[in-house]
């Protein structure tokens, strides 16, 4: 089972929608830019039926170096998470 490449994805979407491949590429690039900017400014972006991209702040915490067992301080940081929609889970699993 091989993965679908970006080119194959664009071709398949163009065939299924009846649009030109160039239009599909432009639309997908616009959707990607919108997802990035919305997540950056609002903290989340939902793609109905697929999932939600969420920006989350993690507090500083104490961790352990697995090699030495020494305690280390892990700094606070912002991370990006993707939560898969229930509809996607139900149709795939």
Number of structural domains (the chain) is 2
CATH number at residue 65: 4.10.520.10
Mean local confidence (pLDDT), 70-83: 96
Tell me: pLDDT of 1 over 80. no
DSSP SS3 for 65: coil
Burial of 62 (0-12, 13-18, 19+ CB in 10 A): exposed
- Other Cβ atoms within 10 Å of 10 Cβ, number: 18
Can you give the pLDDT at residue 84?
Answer: 97
Pairwise CA distance, residues 9 & 77, whole Å: 34
- 52/92 same-domain check: yes
Pull the structure tokens for residue 92.
Answer: 């795939």
* Nearest to 53, CA basis, from 80, 28, 87: 80
Domain with 4 in it: 1-42
What span, in angstroms and rounded, lies between the C-alpha atoms of 13 and 8?
Answer: 9
Per residue in 9-66, pLDDT (tens digit) is: 999 999 999 999 999 999 999 999 999 999 999 999 999 999 999 999 999 999 999 9
Model pTM score: 0.80
Tell me, yes or no, whether 56 and 21 share the same domain: no
Q: Are residues 38 and 55 in the same domain?
A: no
**Is the domain of 89 the same as that of 65?**
yes
Examine the domain organization and report whether 84 and 73 are in the same domain: yes
């Amino acid at each position: 089972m091989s993965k679908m490449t970006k080119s194959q994805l664009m071709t398949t979407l163009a065939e299924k929608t009846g649009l030109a491949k160039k239009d599909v590429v432009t639309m997908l690039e616009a959707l990607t830019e919108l997802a990035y900017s919305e997540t950056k400014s609002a903290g989340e972006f939902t793609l109905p039926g697929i999932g939600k991209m969420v920006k989350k702040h993690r507090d500083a915490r104490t961790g352990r170096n697995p090699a030495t067992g020494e305690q280390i301080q892990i700094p606070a940081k912002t991370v990006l998470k993707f939560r898969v929609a229930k509809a996607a889970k139900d149709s795939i699993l």
